[in-house]
């Protein structure tokens, strides 16, 4: 028992090594994609295999040979330890849900076909909604339209509850490479489905709701989506106890969740890509920066401004139209103040009257996004620069600029900036753009997954800042985490939430016995004779070390939910390190206190803040660099 406790305490005091590169994992072929999961496991796809790599050590947890999957064919299920794999061979397709820790097959379905585009999970009702599209490939500048399929499954068994075919919608390229190579297409230009109050809401042709258990349709509110060939021109819907607020085609609607009727409608606002609800007032941003579907370029569309709507009757209280040639997302330092930046100025608006209080020059080239740091100061950023301002006076507090090395890499710089923003906002949540306690979709009970942040196909930073206006910690609450595989073995360590209860040395957790783990392991091995998995690490570990490893994965998820982003990364010339790499600027003080030199830039880089590591690929290798000791 003492030995087991020592191993568990050791894993929770894990810290990265002091040198920059922490580990290297050599794989069988060139790395095609990689993505992290909430447990700190990195899923890697090569030209021949799928790997699950322990992010802390670089150990291969399991490998599945002789499979060539695209990134759209691999999707972790939010709030669980499941990973979905989509296999397509000719007309035959199947979806498997496997244990992230071992690769063990939990269930399999031969009834659903296509690449997994988006999903929503309702843990309490044991429901999983998948949106899939077949043959979603082409050249980046092609206009590809498909009829996605919506399937609602039993989360535990994979049994189908019901399905529905979505009308024809236009897909969006996952990236826009130089040349004419084939790429995967996605539904990143649409908001992901949402479970709320026993219903499932989808947003591909407007707003449609279904009874979550039966699939009976009640609400169909059709409106134009992706106006003018631009992605996400409509705001993410907001749910309250009785209403849903949606926007499209210059209008904002309040729709009754009980009857599906439109309660009120505010017209002639302009493109409305962002809404924030504070009390009984709905603040709406009009205009902004949008990704053009045909080529991935960021374009600006007006009119630019902010409107306030009384949610009781739908009356527009005021409109601010003073933004000039651009606008960032809304930033709310307190309930009385709204702050935006246009092309030239940082502007403070009185939330009650819509009157401009003050404006100061921000000096940031093509300002793209705004956020709040821990000190409550407004940080305005672009692709190469960040600056912080005091909300009350507009006084500049600090500025950090990192110029890209050389010319002719604008698309690469944009990709790096988008990746950095997506990673920051993954941890930031609501608190990044508004004061704490603000209401955003609090009633929506599901966990949704869109490829937007995972793949970062969006090239503009504003879309990432706007789409991140959710509370990560709330959505991924520990009490709603469900385990189906090996992680279920350590639930005896939990405090009722499913997360380890090991911060105190004096506490003696109730551990599974070695005999129980051995018996469980025997069952796993028998099951895996049909799962085509090779090189399973946990099969080679004794029970105590199995418990050690699995407990750390649960700790990682707990820590992830509590984190808030602190660093924004820029690709630049690292003069102190004699080469190019990524500079991490602390958004609280403007200090560049992280520098990671990279010989070969991989704009798909991922940071794992609980582990203090950054993952990149080079050829057939995955590499991890310490970011906590990166100076």
User: What pLDDT is recorded for position 441?
Assistant: 45
Residue 511: other Cβ atoms inside 10 A:
19
pLDDT surpassing 70 at residue 501: no
423 pLDDT more than 60: yes
Average pLDDT estimate for 286-302: 88
pLDDT tier at 428, thresholds 50, 70, 90: low
* pLDDT of amino acid 630: 55
Of the pLDDT bands very low, low, confident and very high (cuts 50, 70, 90), residue 123 is confident
Q: Where are the domains of the chain?
A: 2-74+500-556, 105-478
Whole-number Å distance between alpha carbons of 457 and 125 = 32
Contact criterion met (CB below 8 Å) for 473 and 379: no
The sign one gets for the Cα dihedral 54, 59, 65, 70 is positive
- pLDDT (mean) for 600-623: 87
Class of the CATH domain delimited by 105-478 = mainly beta
Which of 256-260, 270-274, 574-578 has maximum average pLDDT?
A: 270-274
What integer pLDDT is reported at residue 49 of this predicted model? 93
Pairing of β 331-334 and β 315-320: unpaired
Strand order in 567-574's β-sheet? 567-574, 579-586, 592-597
Q: What pLDDT shows up at residue 518?
A: 37
Angle subtended at Cα 411 by Cα 410 and Cα 412, rounded to the nearest 5 degrees: 90
Residue with token string 């569309």:
301
* pLDDT surpasses 90 at 307: yes
Lookup result for tokens 């080079």: 618
Strand partners, 277: 282, 439
Query: First vs last Cα of the chain: how many Å apart?
Result: 40
Tokens 């991989």: give the residue.
Answer: 602
Task: For residue range 484-494, list pLDDT tens digits in order.
Answer: 888 876 655 44
Phi then psi for 581, rounded to 5 degrees? 175, -160
**pLDDT at residue 589 in the model:** 95
Confidence (pLDDT) at 463: 78
Mean pLDDT, rounded, for 564-574: 85
* Alpha-helical runs (H) found in 324-381: none
Give the pLDDT confidence of 159-180 residue by residue, as tens digits.
999 999 988 899 988 888 777 7
Residue 374 token pair? 């821990």
The tens digit of pLDDT for each residue in 361-410 reads 999 988 989 988 988 999 999 888 999 999 999 999 999 999 888 666 66
CA distance 274 to 454: 21
- pLDDT given at position 342: 93
> What average pLDDT score do residues 419-428 get?
74
- At 578, list the tokens: 């004699």
CA–CA distances in Å: residue 575 to residues 173, 256, 398, 583? 36, 58, 21, 11
Is residue 211 within 8 Å of 219, Cβ to Cβ?
Answer: no
Q: Which residue has the higher pLDDT, 20 or 452?
A: 20
The answer to whether 427 touches 559, Cβ cutoff 8 Å, is no
- pLDDT mean over 200-225: 85
Q: What is the predicted pLDDT for the residue at 590?
A: 95
What mean pLDDT, rounded, does the chain reach? 80
275-285 residue pLDDT tens: 998 889 999 99
For residue 456, what pLDDT is reported? 57
Q: Is the pLDDT of residue 470 over 70?
A: no
Taking alpha carbons only, the member of 454, 446, 396 closest to residue 425 is 454
pLDDT at 2: 45
- In eight-state DSSP terms, residue 292 is B
On the question of pLDDT at 474 being above 90, the answer is no
């Amino acid at each position: 028992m003492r030995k087991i406790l020592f191993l568990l305490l050791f894993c929770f005091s894990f810290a990265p090594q002091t040198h920059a590169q922490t580990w290297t994992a050599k794989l069988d072929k060139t790395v095609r994609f990689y993505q992290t999961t909430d447990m700190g496991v990195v899923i890697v796809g090569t030209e021949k295999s799928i790997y699950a790599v322990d992010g802390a050590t670089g150990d291969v947890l399991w490998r599945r040979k002789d499979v060539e999957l695209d990134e759209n064919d691999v999707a972790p299920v939010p709030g669980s330890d499941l990973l979905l794999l989509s296999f397509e061979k000719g007309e035959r397709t199947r979806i498997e849900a496997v244990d992230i820790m071992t690769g063990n097959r939990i269930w399999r379905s031969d009834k659903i076909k296509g690449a997994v585009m988006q999903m929503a999970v309702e843990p309490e009702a044991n429901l999983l909604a998948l949106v899939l599209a077949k043959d979603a490939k082409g050249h980046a500048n092609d206009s590809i339209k498909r009829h996605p399929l919506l399937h609602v499954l039993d989360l535990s068994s994979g049994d189908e509850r019901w399905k529905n075919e979505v009308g024809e919608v236009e897909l969006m390229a996952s990236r826009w490479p130089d040349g004419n190579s084939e790429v995967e297409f996605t539904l990143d230009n649409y908001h992901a489905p949402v479970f709320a109050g026993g219903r499932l809401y989808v947003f591909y042709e407007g707003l449609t709701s279904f009874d979550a258990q039966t699939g009976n349709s009640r609400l169909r509110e059709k409106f134009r989506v992706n106006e003018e060939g631009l992605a996400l021109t409509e705001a993410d819907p907001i749910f309250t106890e009785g209403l849903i607020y949606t926007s499209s085609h210059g209008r904002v609607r309040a729709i009754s969740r009980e009857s599906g009727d439109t309660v009120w409608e505010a017209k002639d606002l302009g493109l409305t890509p962002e809404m924030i609800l504070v009390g009984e007032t709905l603040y709406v941003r009009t205009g902004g920066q949008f990704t053009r579907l045909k080529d991935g370029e960021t374009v600006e569309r007006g009119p630019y401004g902010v409107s306030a709507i009384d949610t009781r009757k739908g009356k527009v209280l005021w409109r601010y139209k003073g933004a000039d040639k651009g606008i960032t997302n809304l930033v709310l330092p307190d309930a009385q103040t709204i702050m935006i930046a246009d092309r030239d100025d940082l502007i403070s608006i009185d939330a009650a009257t819509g009157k401009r209080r003050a404006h100061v020059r921000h000096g940031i080239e093509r300002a793209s996004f705004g956020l709040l740091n821990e000190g409550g100061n407004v940080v305005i950023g672009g692709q190469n620069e960040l600056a912080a301002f005091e909300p009350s006076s507009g006084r500049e507090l600090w500025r950090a600029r990192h110029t890209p090395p050389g010319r002719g890499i604008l698309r690469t710089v944009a990709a790096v900036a988008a990746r950095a923003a997506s990673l920051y906002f993954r941890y930031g949540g609501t608190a990044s753009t508004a004061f704490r306690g603000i209401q955003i979709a609090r009633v929506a009970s599901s966990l949704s997954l869109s490829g937007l942040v995972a793949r970062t196909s969006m090239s503009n930073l504003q879309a990432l800042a706007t789409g991140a206006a959710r509370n990560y910690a709330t959505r991924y609450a520990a009490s709603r985490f469900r385990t189906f595989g090996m992680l279920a073995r350590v639930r005896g360590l939990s405090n009722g939430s499913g997360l380890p209860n090991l911060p105190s040395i004096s506490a003696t957790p109730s551990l599974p016995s070695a005999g129980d783990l051995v018996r469980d392991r025997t069952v796993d091995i028998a099951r895996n004779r049909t799962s085509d998995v090779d090189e399973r690490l946990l099969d080679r570990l004794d029970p105590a070390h199995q418990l050690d490893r699995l407990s750390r994965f649960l700790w990682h998820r707990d820590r992830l939910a509590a984190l808030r982003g602190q660093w924004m990364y820029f690709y630049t010339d690292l003069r102190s390190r004699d080469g190019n790499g990524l500079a991490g600027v602390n958004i609280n003080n403007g200090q560049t206190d992280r520098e990671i030199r990279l010989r070969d830039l991989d704009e798909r880089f991922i940071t794992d803040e609980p582990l203090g590591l950054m993952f990149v690929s080079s050829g057939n290798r995955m590499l991890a660099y310490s970011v906590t000791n990166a100076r």
